Structure formats: structure tokens, C-alpha cells
Structure 1
Amino acid sequence: MDASLTDKDASLTDKESSLPITEQPSHYDHLETRSVIDLLRDMNIEDQKVAPTIEKVLPTVAQLVEQIVPRMRKGGRIFYLGAGTSGRLGVLDASELPPTFGVPPTFVIGLIAGGDTALRNAVEKAEDDSDAGWQELLAHGVNQEDTVIGIAASGTTPYVVGAVEKAHDHGILTGCITSNPHTPLAAAADVAIEMIVGPEFITGSSRMKSGTGQKMILNMISTAVMIRLGRVKGNRMVNMQLTNQKLIDRGTRMLVEALHIDYSKARRLLLLHGSVEKALEEHSL
């Protein structure tokens, strides 16, 4: 057994085993006495548990995606709700979609307990308000074509649970990503993604494995949805925003390859039409 593992790993006390998984003691102890390379190796060991765990819930992720797509084709949106790390990851995923896939920023919206201030600073007790998330959804005109996805490692965050419960009661498709089984959040969601990655390397620090898993699943959901909605051709981001020279060059090379034209002509076409997809459409007319 690794020297970093504690004696109690083999058998948790009754009190410890009754804790939610995200609060159970780390398998590692005396971290302050360990070398940097040992700390990194042990963190890496724990990180390697995330992908196989996500593999187990892929059918559930697929179920959620397949219900989202027809709603978005009718004008629906995705709302992510979370607090702390979970909220920041939702906002991150939402904010990356417009430049990557050329969709408006209202297509996928990330809401975090405490508002934008909470992206950089903790907002005291913001996550404990069980009505705030629903009120924010109402302010965005949430409706039955939309999808609300709650993100909470604990599965008990009032800001998230309250919003998902209200959305479900109003006939809105709801999903969730959590790291504990049988939580109030999962009970409130139509599609519950229970990603059980085990105790964190630092006890209770769900910014680690849980956060890594949340990011991976959010990537999967949003990317699969965008592909299904036709925002990708082949394996290329043909709707990406041309916000810098690197992306202009990437788009130009896509046109060179697709149309068998020289680089300068491809670049002129790209800049004229504003996206690879539009340039391809216009060139084929």
C-alpha cells in the first residue's frame, strides 16, 4: 500500500462512512510532510479515476443531450446553475460556446450564486438562498423549450436544488451533475448524472476530482449539442468567430483544403463572408 495512505482507508469509521462521499476523508494524509513530486503523483492517481467514472454515466449524458437538441431546434436554451467551483465551470462552458461555434451568448447561459462577483470572490451565503436561482431564471424568461442543468458536487446546494425543483414543477426539462448518489438535486432532476469519483485528495475539496469531472461532462454536453445542431462540419469548427489571426489562418486553411484554392483567395473569401460555413455555402452557389 502507498505510504501516503492512511490506516483508516481499509475501514472507515461508522461516522465517516455515513458522510456524503464528497465529505469523506481523503485516502491520503500528512500531506504537508510529503515531497512535491509525491503530492503530484498522488493527485494524478486520483485524477485517473475520473474518466472511467464518467464512462459509466455516458448513457445518462446521452439521454440528456438527446432531449436538449429538439428543444434548442425550437428556440430553447440551456441554463447552467451552480455555486462556487460548480457555478464557475458552468459560466466557463457557456462563455466558450459563442467564439467556438458562432452561437449568440444567449444560447447557453451560466448562472452562479452571487452573480458575476462570485466568479472571482466568494459571496457569503449566496448558495444558501433556495429561491434566488429560480428568480434569476425568471428574469431570463425561462420557458418550457429551455433546459435547466444544476451543477453541485454535494447535490444539496439550496441555490441549485431550489431552481431545479421549480423548473421541474413548471414542466421545464431538468438535468444535474453531482458527485453523491441519491441527493435532493438528483431527485429533482429529470436526468440525473451521478458522477461518483470518491473522496477528494484534500478532504472536501470538490474543486479537484469533482470539478474535473464536471468540466469534462459539460464539455461533452455542449459539444455534442453543437454538433447535432450543425455547428460542426466533418471535424471542423466552421462557425468559429474570427477574433484573431490564429483563427483567421485556421479558417483559411479549412477553405484551402475544402475548395482546393490558393491561400490568398481562401483568405479573401473567409473575410468576405465572415465564417468558413458561409464561405463554403456561397462558393457552392
Structure 2
Amino acid sequence: MAKLAPTQIEQLQSIGAYLRQVRQEQGLAIDMLANQIFIRPALLQALESGHDAELPEPVFIQGFIRRYAEALGLDGQAIAQEFRVTPVSVLPPADLLERADTNGAAQPEPQLEPQTMAPPPSPRQDRPESRSSLPLVLGLAALAAILGLGAWGLFGRSGVPSRANNDDPAAETASQADSAADSSDPAETAATPGPTEQPEADDSGSSAPLEAPVVVSASLSDRAWLSVIADGTNVYEGVAESGFEETWTAQTSVVFRTGNAGGVELSVNGDRPVVMGASGVVRTVTVTPSSGVESVESP
């Protein structure tokens, strides 16, 4: 049951009366429209008469209005917007009422207070910066001196063993022999299994199947209502415009239904696309893994 505000009830009654008048002028039965847009006749009667007790939440009511108006050939989006999902408050906010009571008398006083309080902090903030600049410069100079002494100590110590190594040819030949032994045995044996393992991983990844047993692709040349149920789950329902293209997949079956068969081209399991029927005709097609283009061509 919908809990509507008084303004929403008035909007619902006005829109429902208008839709009932247009339906009667076109000579359409409410049961026929209910089957076309998949809404129970009892809900459409409650929508026309404005009985909110028999209707769902406001957001669903707005969707019913849009689908009902589109079935009558009207601008469903514009008519549905006339029914507000959230009621608009009539009273102004409390802060506006307080400003209206003061009549602007207390506004100049708060403007003077921040002007008098703003200047004092500025000189106090400048003084610590000027005082702290001298210790910062001294600290940086001391740090540079320490780093210079440390670098000199490192370079001075590293020069002594380098000269000793240059004077002994036996040490050079021993180091060269050790580096050659390290590069010949373990590095080559560790590198050999690498290229053989990589192509095996690539081959296993490329052979994985990606295609589903049931594939249905739709392309619209005219506006039409669509309903798609894949493996028992409703995956799409609504009115699609011209140029709409979409593909659905399933494991066992896809039930595809449209209210305008002449505006829908359907491709089943990779076959060529086929127009589902004549314009304005309601058509339902059930696709399984063994279905082909003949399931779309035959009514």
C-alpha cells in the first residue's frame, strides 16, 4: 500500500482522470492495455481513479504512469514527471523565518566584529617566522659540514684498498676467476627453464572457452517494448528507442518478447539477423542451444 501525501494524491487523481479520458476517446479496453504493458487491470483501474490504497510505492506509481501514457501514444516521460515521488514542502525553512523577523537590523553588527578581531593575529604570526630563520640557517650549515666530513672519510678509506688491489695481480686474477665461475654455472642453469614455462601458461590461457551455449542479439529499427528472461531471470524490461543494440547470453534458454515485432531484428546463436514480424505485433521467441534462424522466421 502506498502512503501518499495530500499533494501526491491530487496529482495522481488529475493524471489518472486524464489517462482514462484519452483511453476512452481512442476506444481502447483497459484489459487490452494491461496485457500490452504487463500491468494488472486492477492496478490500472486504481491508477485512473486515484485510489492510492491499492497502489505500490510512489516510485512504482511513476513508472506505471509512464508506461500507460506511452501505450496511449503520449509523452510518458513528461506526464510521469507531473507526479512527484517526493512531496515538496510548502513552508519556508526556519532560517528564512528568523531573517524575516529581524528585518535586517542585526546584520551590520556581526560584520564589525570579525574586522576588529582579524588584524591582531597577523603581526604575532610574522614574529616567530623571523626569529626562527636564524636557527634554521645554522642547523643547515652544521648538517652540510657533517655530511662533508662523512663523505671525505668514506672516500679516504675506500682509496686504500683500491690501491692495494691494483698492486697485487694475483688478487685481480682470483676475483676474475670467481666472477666467471658465478656467471657460468648457476645463472645459466637457472635461466634455462624460464622460456619453456612461459609458452605453456600462454597456451592454457588462450584455449579457455568464452562463448555461452545460448546467444541472442537484438537490433532495433523502430521504438519497441522488450522483455528478456535468461535462465529464468528477468535481465531486461523496458521501452527501447531506435538504434538500440544489445546481446544476452544464457546456459539453457532465453525468452525474448517484444510489443513491436516489425522494429526488431533478432540474431540467434550467431545466425543472420531476421525481422521478428509485422509492425505493432506482439511476438515471443524461446531460444535454446539448438535454436537457429528458423525459430525467428516461423511465427
User: Scaled by the length of structure 2, what TM-score is found?
Assistant: 0.20
Q: Which has the larger share of strand? A: 2
User: Scaled by the length of structure 1, what TM-score is found?
Assistant: 0.20
